[in-house]
Amino acid sequence: MSAIPNRQTKKSSNYKSYFIVAGILAGIGLALLGYLMFYVAPVEVLETVKVVAVTSQGCIAETLDGHAVNIGSCDAEPGDFISALVDQKVKERAELMNPTN
């Protein structure tokens, strides 16, 4: 017999820590996926817009509530009213960045 006890290493606690780390990483991944799905993904609605300018990047139009949006390529002239898909989240972000009150 010795004065120092024979210590056995526990392998199960090592596996528990791996599962905890994997669970934390999975939670972070799910949170990022939720952020992408709800806050970044576009919500496009068909609106009537007035074409303001035609540029090389596409047509710049103004919505009826006064937001300037790029609607992509179009065959319209400045001053024409057309129906186009407009991302509503871009309009929300513009209102948050440029409050009118």
Per-residue pLDDT of the chain (101 residues; tens, 9 = 90+): 566 666 665 556 688 889 999 999 999 999 999 988 888 788 899 999 999 999 999 999 999 988 999 998 889 999 999 999 999 988 888 888 887 76
Q: What is the pLDDT of residue 81?
A: 95
How far is residue 47's CA from residue 62's CA, in Å, rounded to a whole number?
A: 10
Q: What is the pLDDT of residue 101?
A: 64
Give the architecture-level CATH label for domain 44-97.
Beta Barrel (2.40)
Q: What is the pLDDT of residue 91?
A: 86
Q: What is the pLDDT of residue 23?
A: 96
In one-letter notation, the amino acid at residue 63 is T
Q: Which two tokens stand for residue 70?
A: 């790029």
CB atoms under 10 Å from CB of 69, counted, come to 21
Q: What is the pLDDT of residue 14?
A: 80
In one-letter notation, the amino acid at residue 92 is E
In sequence order, which residues have a C-beta less than 8 Å from that of residue 73 and are 6 or more positions away?
Answer: 58, 59
Q: What is the pLDDT of residue 54?
A: 93
